[in-house]
Structure 1
C-alpha cells in the first residue's frame, strides 16, 4: 500500500515540475522575437522561398518588416532586409555575427573547410584571411598584375573582332566567363588552363564547383532527410569534384615546387606566395597543403562567377538604356582622346564609368543573400536573437528599398555622380560584397578587371541586339546559383567604332 508520504512527495515533485515549466514558458514568452509568417510542420517556411529566394524574401519582407524570423526545417533563420539591420549585424555587432553557418557541401569542397569564405570564425580563419589580405590581395599586389589584365582584356577584344570577321553573333556571357577565368588562372596558378583536354577539364571543374556551391542541401536543415543526397547523386558529385580539384591543384603545386626560380616579394603567382608563406612560417600560422588548395579554390569560386556576372549585367543594362551607353562611351573617348586604347591609368578619370558599375551592383547584387550566424545571445533593433541563429542579410532587397533609393527599379547611374556612396562595405544601403569581418577581401582586384574590360569594349565597339530586336525587349530572366546570373546567354552584334 502506497504511503501518504509517497503520495505527498509525488505531488510536491509534480507541482515543482509544472511550476518550473510555467516559469520557463513565461520567460520564453517574454522574449521579443521578430515577426514571422505562418509555417508548416517539419519544413517550416521552406515552401515560401520559391525558385528565386531573394525575390521571395523581398516580398515577405514587404509584408512582415525588415527584420523577420523564418524556420528552415529545424533551423531558425533571421532575415535582415534593411540598411539599418545590416549595419547593426555587420558593423555594430559584427563580432557577435562573425560566424558562418556550417554547410556540408563547402566543408567537403574546401577540405574542412580550410578556406576563408566558409570557414567558421576563429583563429584559423583570422590567420587565413590575414594571409589573403596581406600577401595575395593587397593594393601593391593587385597593381602588379596590371599586365595580365591588359593582355587578357586585349584577347577579349580580339575574340570580338574575330566574331565580326566571321559575321557571328557575340556570346558575351561566354567571353566574360573565359576572360575572368584566364585572368584568375594566370594570377593564382601562374598560367592559363584553357587549351586541350587539360583546359577543358579545368573549365568543367570550375563550373561544377560554382554550381555545387549554389545547391540547396536539404540535409543541412533537415538532418533526417540527409540520406536523400546519397540517392540523388549529390554526395557522389561533391566528392568527385573535391577529389578532382584536389588532384589538379596538387599537380600545380608540385610544378611550382620544382621550379628553380628565386622567390621574389614583387613577383610570383598566388601558389608561389602561399608556398613562400608556408616555408617562412613567420606568423606561426601553419599553412598546410589543404589550406593552400582551399584558398586557391576560394579565389576561383568567389572571383570568376561574381566578376563575369557583374560584367554581364552591366552590359545588359547598357544595351537596355542606349542614352546611358552613349554617355559612357563619350566619357571613355573624351578621356582617351588621341590614344589608340584605354589603359588602367585612364580609369581614374572616368567617374561615369564608376557610377555605371555602382548602379549595376545596386540593381543586380551578384550575391543576393549573405549568410552569417549568431555566436551568442544578443538583441538587434529591439529583437532578441539566440546564439546559433542563422542570419541572411539581403543586399538585393536592401539595394531596391524605396526608403533609400529613388525609383529603385530603374537603372540610373547619375544617382552616384554627386554621391559618396560606395560598395566597399561602409554604406549599408549598397553592400553587394558584404561588410565587416566577413566582407569580400577581393573587391579591389575585381574592380579593376571590371572597369578595364568595360571601358576597352566601349572604346572599340558598338553593340546592338541580333535580328533587329529592340533594347527594351532584352530578356532579363534570372538563373540562381551562388550568384544571380542571366538565365540565357547575352548575345549581341558587335561593330567596330572606328
Structure 2
C-alpha cells in the first residue's frame, strides 16, 4: 500500500477489495484510514452503528475553512450539529419552502435554454459545463440571498478556491503534528486568506441584503430564514453570524458544485450511448408532445430518464468517498475499528447498492429538493452532437478528483435546436441541487 497516495480515484481500491483483501487499511502520513468497499460493511457503519460513526475527522485545513468546525458539513456530532441539521431540515429545506423557489428555477432554466439557443453552435461547440455552472450558481444565489449580486462572481471564485483547498492532499493535513510542515506549508495561510476574503464579501452581501429588506425589497430567501432565527434567539446554542456565514457557504457548495457536475456527466454518458440518448429523448418528447407548458406534468412518468440519472450517479458519484470517524471502538463484520479511526465508505465500489444521498445521521438533508431535473429541458429542446468527428467511444471521460469527481476536460457539444415550440419550465430544476453533500 506504499503507493496508495498516487491512487486518485475510488475505483483504485476496488482492485484490492476484489483480490483477497477483506478490509483495506491505508496510511497517509500520520493518518490511518480504513476503506469500506462492501454494501454489508457500509450498512453496518451507516445504519447499525450509525451513532458511532456520526462525526467526521476534520483536517487542519478544513478546521480553518469551516471557522473552527462550524456550520453543517464539518461540525462534529453533538448538540450543536443536531441543532444546525434541524434548522436545515425543518426551516431551510422543507418541501414547502423548496416548492416556493419554483419560480426561480423556472426563470433560470428558461435563461439557460435561451442562452444555448443564441449561441452559434453550428460552427463552434457549446461549453456545456460553463452553461450548467452559470445555471446552478444563479439558482443557488437567488435561493440563498433572494437576488443576484454584482459581487457574486468574486464570491463564487473564492468559494471555488475553498473547495479546492478542502479536497486537496495537503502536507499539513497528512502530518498535523509536525511543526516543520506547519511552518513550511503555505496551505494554512492560503486557507486563512480565502476564508477572510469570503467573510468580507459575505459581510457586504448581508449588509446590503438587510438594507434592501428594511425598504421592503426582495423575496424571502434562506438567508432571511437564518436571520429570523438569529433574531428570535430561542435556541440552545444562539445562532450568530459566525454560524450563518459557514452555513451559507456549505449550502452554496452543495447546491451548485455537485449538481452541475452530475448533470454534465449525465449528458456525457448520453452522447456516448446514442441508443440510450434516443430512447431518453423519445420518452421526453412523446410525453411533452403538443405541450406549451409542463406546469402539471408528472415528471415521475419519465421512468427511463430517471434510470439514466441513477446510472450516472452510480458511475460518477459526486461524493465517492464518504468520510466518517469512529467515536468509540467497535466491531464491524468481525474487525475491530479503533476509536478515532478515519473510515472512508467507497460509494463507487458499492455499485448497484450505492448510497445516492448518503445514509444515517449524515444523510443529505436536501433530498426534497431533488424532485425534478434539468435533463428534460436539454433533451426536449436540442439534439446533441459530439464535435470534430469524434465517435461516441472516443469521447474523453477522464476524471479530475476533488471534493466532487468532475470531468477532467469540460464537456463541449453541438446543440441543434428542435422546432418543438416554447415550453414554460414550471417544474424543472436540477435533480442534484443540495443533494450530494452529506451534512
Using structure 2 for the length normalisation, give the TM-score: 0.90
**Which segment is superposed worse, 214-223 or 454-463?**
214-223
Partner of 1:206: 159
1:57-77 residue CA offsets vs partner (Å, 9 max, x unmatched): 222222343532233333331
* 2:197 is aligned with 1:244: yes
- Structure 2, unpaired ranges of 5+: 420-439
**C-alpha deviation, 1:228, in angstroms:** 3.6
Tell me: CA distance 1:225–1:162, structure 2 relative to 1, closer, same or farther (3 Å). Answer: farther
The answer as to whether partners of 2:122 and 2:416 remain within 8 angstroms in 1 is no
Distance 2:247 2:59 in 1: 17
Instruction: Provide the secondary structure at the position in 1 that maps to 2:278.
Output: helix
Render the CA deviation track for 1:270-310: whole Å, top value 9, x for unaligned. Answer: 11000001111334331011100010000112221110110
Q: 1:359 Cα deviation (Å)? A: 0.8
Match of 1:60 among 7, 10, 16: 16
What CA distance in whole angstroms lies between the structure 2 residues aligned with 1:482 and 1:126?
A: 23
CA positional deviation for 1:340: 2.8
Q: CA deviation at 1:229?
A: 5.8
- For residue 442 of structure 1, the aligned residue among 341, 366, 369 is 366
Residues 112 and 64 of structure 1, relative CA distance in 2, 3 Å threshold: farther
Aligned to 1:332: 284
**Given the alignment of the two structures, is residue 117 of structure 1 paired with residue 67 of structure 2, yes or no?**
no
Residues 259 and 200 of structure 1: CA distance in aligned 2, closer, same or farther (over 3 Å): closer
Aligned residues: 418
The answer to whether residue 416 in structure 2 is matched with residue 495 in structure 1 is: yes
1:215 to 162, 168, 171: 168
Partner in structure 1 of residue 323 of structure 2: 371
Q: Distance in 1 between matches of 2:287 and 2:295?
A: 11
**Partner deviation per Cα, 1:52-93 (whole Å, 9 max, x = no partner):** 141222222223435322333333311111111110000011
Please state if 1:74 is matched with 2:30.
Answer: yes
Q: Does residue 47 of structure 2 align to residue 91 of structure 1?
A: yes
Q: How does 1:84-483 map to 2 (within 5 A)?
A: 84-164=40-120, 167-193=123-149, 198-225=151-178, 227-228=180-181, 230-260=183-213, 268-340=220-292, 342-343=294-295, 345-399=297-351, 405=352, 429-445=353-369, 447-448=370-371, 451-483=372-404
- Say if 1:210 and 1:305, in contact at 8 Å, map to a contact too: no
Moved more, 384-393 or 100-109: 100-109
Secondary structure of 1:69's counterpart equals strand
RMSD: 2.1
| Contact 2:5-2:28 at 8 Å conserved across structures | no
User: Quick check: 160-169 or 310-319, which moved more?
Assistant: 160-169
Structure 1 SS opposite 2:239 = coil
Verify the 8 A CA contact 1:77 1:392 in the aligned structure 2.
yes
Give, in angstroms, the shift of residue 247 of structure 1: 0.8
Contact map agreement 1:186 1:192 (CA 8 A) in 2: yes
Contact 1:94 1:437 in 2 (8 A): yes
In the aligned structure 2, how far is the partner of 1:46 from the partner of 1:154? 51
| Structure 1: tracts of 5 or more residues without a match | 1-44, 400-404, 406-428
* Bigger relative contact order (CA 8 A; separation at least 6): 2
Closer, same or farther: CA 312–226 of 1 in aligned 2, 3 Å: farther
Conservation of the 8 A alpha-carbon contact between 2:93 and 2:365 = yes
Equivalent residues of 1:220, 1:226 under 8 A apart: no
